[in-house]
Amino acid sequence: MRRLQLAALAVAGALFGSCLISAAAACPGWRCGAQGTSTGAQTALDAAMLMVALLAMSVVARAAWLTWRGRRSLAALQPAPGGEATVARHRLGGRARLTGGSGIAFCTGLLRPRLYFSVDVVDALDNEELEAVLVHERCHAARRDPLRRVLRRALADVLWFAPAVAWWADQRIRREEMAADAAAVRRVGLRPVAGALVKLWTSPPTSVSSAAYGDAASARVASLLGDPCGPDRLPRKVLMISVAGALASVPLGICFATLLV
């Protein structure tokens, strides 16, 4: 955790230093007098505020596009076949929507999150295991994790020049998955949660396993085994690229924004 905090401070320091450099550049040589210095500093400040506003608008626009793409994918899901889905629909009892396809068990929706399961996922689990997965996904819904993930993904995409942001977003997903697993363990016990994960993990890649783990697989298994691992260390290469990207991008962004002020 200490290293993570130091990495965050380094990135923040790089951003702050870039802003100072840009402000200083607004009055070359600091020889433009008190009036010129004040005007140049105010211009740089206005440009920095404009850049922050443009950044926020870009994140919102990117999040909207990701949401639209997700809704298109959701609309493309085929309805569950009537006859063979009767038992699965009865077991779900209206707690989730049943769809066709395979390997589907997720929570989606920004303001009103909903659960979606495919028939093969329901059929692969016994009653306690199915309840464990339902509790896991309902935990995501209660915490508004789909909304959080869209916003973090949008921020990471906009700040592509600072890969530390994408790394942080991945770490947050891992922690959310582990928190949902912990909620399921408290509700139904360890055995059903572990059993569900084992079944989903050991299924063929084209089936239910794709819905089970994602990039948080190892951390979730370790947590259930009583050996929770701490947050991964931010790779030094990622940190260096992020600092370099901030030092290069922030002044350029302020210079561009200055043209609009």
Task: State how far the Cα of 244 lies from the Cα of 11, in Å rounded to an integer.
Answer: 9
Distance CA 158, CA 180 (A): 28
Closest CA to 118 of 34, 2, 232, 203: 203
- Predicted confidence at residue 195, as pLDDT, reads 87
* pLDDT of 159 higher than 60: yes
pLDDT per residue over 59-89, tens digit each? 999 999 999 998 998 888 888 777 768 888 8
Domain spans of the chain? 1-76+234-261, 77-230
The whole-model pTM stands at 0.76
- Inter-axis angle of helices 127-142 and 145-158, to 10 degrees? 60
CA distances from 152 to 16, 62, 233 (A): 22, 10, 19
Q: 129: pLDDT confidence band, cut at 50, 70 and 90?
A: very high
More confident residue, 100 or 60: 60
Q: Which amino acid does the sequence have at 245?
A: G
Of residues 137 and 212, the one with the higher pLDDT is 137
Distance CA 104, CA 139 (A): 17
For the chain, the average pLDDT equals: 78
Position 208 scores a pLDDT of 41
**Choice between 121 and 46, residue whose per-residue pLDDT is larger:** 121
Average pLDDT over residues 118-145: 93
Cβ distance 208 to 105 under 8 Å? yes
The pLDDT of residue 38 is: 56
Cα–Cα distance for residue pair 207/211, rounded to 1 Å: 8
The whole-number pLDDT of residue 44 equals 64
Torsion angles phi and psi, residue 105, rounded to 5: -160, 90
